[in-house]
Amino acid sequence: MPIRRSALAPEKPKPKIPELVKDIIRISDIVLEVLDARFIQETRNKELEEFVRNLGKKIIFVLNKKDLVDMKQKAQEIIGMDLKPYFFISARKRLGIAKLRRMIKIEAKRLKSERKRVNIGIIGYPNTGKSSLINILTGKSSAKTGADAGFTKGLQYIRLTAGIRILDTPGVLPESEYSSSDPEAIKKQSKLGGRTINTIRDPEMVVTGLMQSHAKEIEKYYGIHAGGDAEVLIENLGRKKRFLKKGGLVDEDRTAKFIIRDWQKGRIRI
């Protein structure tokens, strides 16, 4: 049964690493940390990695959404990043999946001599594509996916092959971003997809943040020349899409949210 999202519920303080995620890590034999290839360092969660390592478990780094990045540039960027082993993949475009699946099976086979069943836990920052990866690996659409952060809520098991189970987890924010109301933190979370559109009070501010770092790519995507100015972009796009309020003024809020949604859905290549 699909789990209802409680996007409108008041934000309650959450534990830093949710108990559910800790439990899944505890029963996992191998852990895959899914990172966004666009923002590798920013979506990494060192506390979570430490928790896994302290339990003596191996981490495989999965750099997802490679369809959105320039691979030549990325190959340079990750040198010396201490990500071993790592796999660049695209769950959306089905790139790099066979290689990753092979690696998982080899690791699992090694462990299977010691136990009946091998559990693979999938962890990571919200919205990096954990559930999408599971669907691609298993060839089923059993793990629910969605553009909103925090889409995966409960425990989900999916069978990979006989004796190998994959466990999905809800995305976890790093401690430094936890319940922050600082505008810079909100901009960052929205850019990384760690904050859902429903909880963004000032979408124009977020678009301003996106334009500060990626104006060229965003303007190209919409075919609008805005000279890096978020207001100009919103005004023009709102007119183009006919997102208008009474009196014919552009509905800036709606237009800004539309841009954030495209960004979080991974439609804009950078």
Ligand X SMILES: Nc1nc2c(ncn2[C@@H]2O[C@H](COP(=O)(O)OP(=O)(O)OP(=O)(O)O)[C@@H](O)[C@H]2O)c(=O)[nH]1
Residues that bind ligand X (CB under 6 A): 64-65, 67-68, 90-92, 126-132, 145-147, 149-152, 170-171, 265-266
User: At its nearest, how many Å lie between ligand X and the CB of residue 113?
Assistant: 31
CA nearest neighbour of 190 among 116, 123, 198: 198
Using CB atoms within 10 Å of the CB of residue 116, give its burial: 0 to 12 exposed, 13 to 18 middle, 19+ buried: exposed
Residue nearest to ligand X (CB): 171
Residue closer to ligand X by CB (options 236, 258) is 258
**Residues within window 82-141 making contact with Mg ion, judged by CB under 5 A:** 130-131
The CB-of-37 to ligand X minimum distance in angstroms stands at 8
Q: What is the largest CA-CA distance in the chain?
A: 71
* Shortest spacing between CB 125 and ligand X, in angstroms: 7
Which of 152, 196, 255, 264 forms a contact with Mg ion (CB under 5 A)? Answer: 152
Q: Cis link prior to 85 (omega < 30° from 0)?
A: yes
Q: Which is nearer to ligand X, 239 or 265 (CB)?
A: 265
Shortest Å, Cβ 193 to Mg ion: 11
**What are the structure tokens assigned to 36, written together?**
């966004």
Residues in contact with Mg ion by CB under 5 A are 130-131, 151-152
